[in-house]
Structure formats: structure tokens, C-alpha cells
Amino acid sequence: MATKSKILIIGGTGSIGKQIVEASAKAGHPTFVLIREATLSVPSKSFMLDSFQKSGVTFIIGDLHDPESLVKAIKQVDVVISTKFYPSEFGHDVDRARPVKPLKTYSGIKAQIRRVTEAEGIPLTCIIANCFNGYFLPTLAQSRDKVVILGSGNAKVVFNNELDIATYTIKTVDDPRTDNKCVYINPPSNIYSFNGLVSLWEKKIGKTLEKVYLPDDQILKNIEESPFPHNLMLSISHSTFVKGEQTNFEIEPSFWVEASELYPDVKYTTVDEYLGRFV
């Protein structure tokens, strides 16, 4: 059997990072986590760090903002996964979306980093994770009487369970089909308009919700008048739920691939199954 790549995960103690660490170790990759020395003594992280060590994960003391320690860590592995960029693409492909500010500014920085990486000839796989279930769906599940819908509610959006995102990510590591491509995690059962999502939730709770539609011009006004970081979150929602920038283009096989088609063996959690937990 071929030797599996050594993986360094930056941001491995964060909410999605820990899922990626666990998926990497479970898949049998020699797994390394860049971690600040101070983090080792944080009480709230102790259970997670103990779990990592029991899974055979190696800690490398360093800091993303300390170039010397970062380079030293990178030299020990074959592949680097940074949760500063994956899946922190704000839920969309920065090369395809055209959001309003302030998201436009941050997306532009992400795109510049892609260009520099490409120019240096560094092999790159971009994971487009779309919306995290844990961030968006529990909020809907709290709605028992009224729900606010951005725009018309007809834009198609992709919702993914965080563990599935981590599993698909690790699957790409030693897969030559993903070299220098974007991998979109767009499982067909997880693509919904917000209207469709609300309808699904209404069926589960056996109740019709009052629907309040927030028009585009009001959303843009709210973005302009809100302080940071609220304006950033609103601009992400505008890009996703109003403009539909997760799904308003075709995936071109020569440059982009879809995860659930590449890895049909992964039993991903559907939106229907996930919402069922809250009934």
C-alpha cells in the first residue's frame, strides 16, 4: 500500500479545524497540528488535545504569524491544510463570487493569495465548503412562529455538515484528480432555496410560519449602516442568500470538480436528516 501523505493542519483547534484533524488521523495520515505553546495550557482545550494525542496526532509548537516556526513546521510534512483559507472562503469561491463590500475586500485578498500560490508553482487544491450546517440551520430550527427571509428566498444555497466537509477534504489529499483544482462540496440532497428550507422545516414541525421578506435594497442599506463585523456577516448573507453566488454557475470539469461525485462512498448527512435532530 502507498504511504499516506504527512499532513500539517494550521488552525487545528478551531471548530472546523478539530474535525479535519480527527478525519486526517482516522484516515491513517501522519497528522501534525501547528499549535501555540500557550494553547497547550488552556483548560477548555484540554479534552480536545488529549483526544488528538490518543489518535496519534503530533503537536508542533509554532505560530502562523512567526515565519521561522511556520517554515520549520511545513518542512516536516507533505501537505498543509490551513483553516485560515479552507474553509474560510466565506462560503463561496472567491474567484467566482462578486460580493459587495466589506466581503468584496476580504475576498479580494483571498484571491490574491491564490494567484501568488499559483505563480510560485505550488500545487494547490481549493475546497469550497459552502454553508456550515452548525452555523445556519440551528437558527432556523429556533423558528417556531416567524422567520425572516433575505431577498426573494429563491436563490439556491448549499448546506454541509462540518464532519462531512472534513471527510471530503482529507479524501482529496492523495487524489491526483484534485491537483490544482477547486473541489466544490455540493451534494445534491443539500442544495435548497431558503424558501424550500423553510417549507421543509414547516413540514417537520407541522406548522406554517409567518414569513417576513427583507428586500435587497434594505439589506444593502443595513450593510452600509452596520459596524464591523456585523456588516461583514450581512454581506456574506447577501452574497449567499440573495445573489445565490454558491450555485449561479456551472462547474467546469477541467478546472473544478464536485466532491460527492468524486467520492460516492462518503455517506454525507443530508439537510433533512440534520434538521430532524431539532424536531
Distance between alpha carbon 147 and the CA centroid of its chain, in Å? 24
Which of 162, 43, 14 shows the shortest CA–CA distance to 33?
14
Q: Please give the Cα distance from 180 to 127 (Å, whole number).
A: 11
Q: Please give the Cα distance from 92 to 129 (Å, whole number).
A: 7
Contact of 4 with 28, CB cutoff 8 Å: yes
Contact of 175 with 117, CB cutoff 8 Å: no
Q: Which one of the listed residues 110, 156, 181, 243 is annotated catalytic?
A: 110
How many other C-beta atoms are found inside a 10 Å radius of the C-beta of residue 40? 12
Contact of 130 with 278, CB cutoff 8 Å: no
Q: Please give the Cα distance from 11 to 73 (Å, whole number).
A: 13
Q: Is 6 a catalytic residue?
A: no
Active site residues: 110
